[in-house]
Structure 1
Amino acid sequence: MNKHLRNASIALTLLLPSMAFAEQESQMSLSVGAFEVFDDNTAAEIGVEYRFSPQASAFNLIPTLGATLTSDGGYWGYAGVRYDIYLNNNWILTPNFAIAAYEQGGGVDLGYDIEFRTGAELAYQFSDKSRLGLGLYHLSNANIGENNPGAESLILSYSF
């Protein structure tokens, strides 16, 4: 098994116990945005994320699985959690955290195969429970690699 597949398998195994109890109120999210948004090497990115329903047994955390591709050939798969903070009936602030298996492709070398994705999304929830959100996240290896430049992404997402 190659190291990327092994690392992704480890991340998924950590979250599987909470995912097994997920209810049917899950969502799919599609996103587009800019990777390395604050640098000269900005690349386009697209992503897909599966958001399980909130887990009452785990403080209403929302387990997630996702994948992202960039226009410079980078890609990563990740597993993580989100937490919805309802500001009112329509606006939701959602901090999130994930562990990612990263491949740089022709893009930035983030210094390690395992990266941590931390961020937040502000979304408007429509009456059908779909959401349109603007998110900002940081991807870095938390200094577990020799090099840790990190990268930020600004994304627009639609969840349904």
Structure 2
Amino acid sequence: MILKKLSLILVLVLTTTKLFASDNNHQLNFYVGNFDFSDHKQAAILIGFQHQNEDLNRDTLIGNISPITGGFVTENSAIYVYTGFEWNVDMGSFTFTPSFAPGLYHEGDGKDLGHVLEFKSEVQVSFDLSQSSKLGFSYNHVSNASLGDKNPGANSYMFNFLKNF
């Protein structure tokens, strides 16, 4: 069931990006980790992906900024689908990438985060394996910014494989 939901999200994102993309200058970030690891009653394995169209990158005064779209699903059938932006800081063989992405959350049989609209703040460090592949580690916090009656938030960590194609 979880893989079926994740496959549907992946097909929707890839279909949408192919409709609007001018070429094949894309990056996919596949990740697996532990959702809400700091809450031992609600901790769950998560699997997800994120897409970045590198044609939409913009160099700014604070660095290279680009839009992202992605989603994840937990072993408890919680789903989070998001879109936002990331800031890529090139440090030689390493890249430091903070990001912010509002999204829609469905708790499934997992943790009630208090609202359907949630905000994901994340930091990632990745290491170049080749010109088109990276390995990384990331940490994020998902919270509704007190939009709901409750705002327990969730802290997660992930191991990432990034591939340009």
User: Normalising by structure 2, what TM-score?
Assistant: 0.79
Question: What is the match of residue 30 of structure 1?
Answer: 30
Question: What is the match of residue 39 of structure 1?
Answer: 39
3-state DSSP of counterpart to 1:101:
strand
Name the amino acid aligned to 1:98: A
Residue 90 of structure 1 deviates from its aligned partner by 0.7
Question: What is the match of residue 79 of structure 1?
Answer: 83
Is the alpha carbon distance of 1:22 and 1:119 closer, same or farther for their aligned partners in structure 2, counting shifts above 3 Å? farther
Which runs of no fewer than 5 residues in structure 1 stay unpaired?
Answer: 1-15
Question: What is the match of residue 72 of structure 2?
Answer: 68
Q: CA contact under 8 A between 1:33 and 1:153: conserved in structure 2?
A: yes
Question: What is the match of residue 127 of structure 2?
Answer: 124
* Aligned mates of 1:55, 1:22 — CA distance in 2: 13
3-state DSSP of counterpart to 2:108:
coil
Count of paired positions: 143
Runs of 4+, deviation exceeding 6 Å: none
More strand by proportion, 1 or 2?
2
Q: CA contact under 8 A between 1:21 and 1:55: conserved in structure 2?
A: no
* Aligned mates of 1:22, 1:132 — CA distance in 2: 27
* CA distances 1:53-83 after superposition (whole Å, capped 9, x unpaired): 1522666311111010000110011001111
Q: CA contact under 8 A between 2:58 and 2:66: conserved in structure 1?
A: no
Is the alpha carbon distance of 1:114 and 1:63 closer, same or farther for their aligned partners in structure 2, counting shifts above 3 Å? same
* Aligned mates of 1:133, 1:84 — CA distance in 2: 13
* Fraction of identical pairs, as percent: 28
**1:148 and 2:119 matched:** no
1:91 is aligned, of 89, 94, 112, to 94
* Aligned mates of 2:84, 2:23 — CA distance in 1: 17
Q: CA contact under 8 A between 1:140 and 1:151: conserved in structure 2?
A: yes
Q: CA RMSD in A?
A: 2.3
3-state DSSP of counterpart to 2:136:
strand
* Aligned mates of 2:36, 2:80 — CA distance in 1: 14
Q: Mean Cα displacement is larger for which, 125-134 or 37-46?
A: 125-134
Which runs of no fewer than 5 residues in structure 2 stay unpaired?
Answer: 1-15
* Aligned mates of 1:123, 1:35 — CA distance in 2: 20
* CA distances 1:9-33 after superposition (whole Å, capped 9, x unpaired): xxxxxxx9xxx68764320111100
Question: What is the match of residue 10 of structure 1?
Answer: none
Is the alpha carbon distance of 1:124 and 1:57 closer, same or farther for their aligned partners in structure 2, counting shifts above 3 Å? closer
Q: CA contact under 8 A between 1:23 and 1:52: conserved in structure 2?
A: no
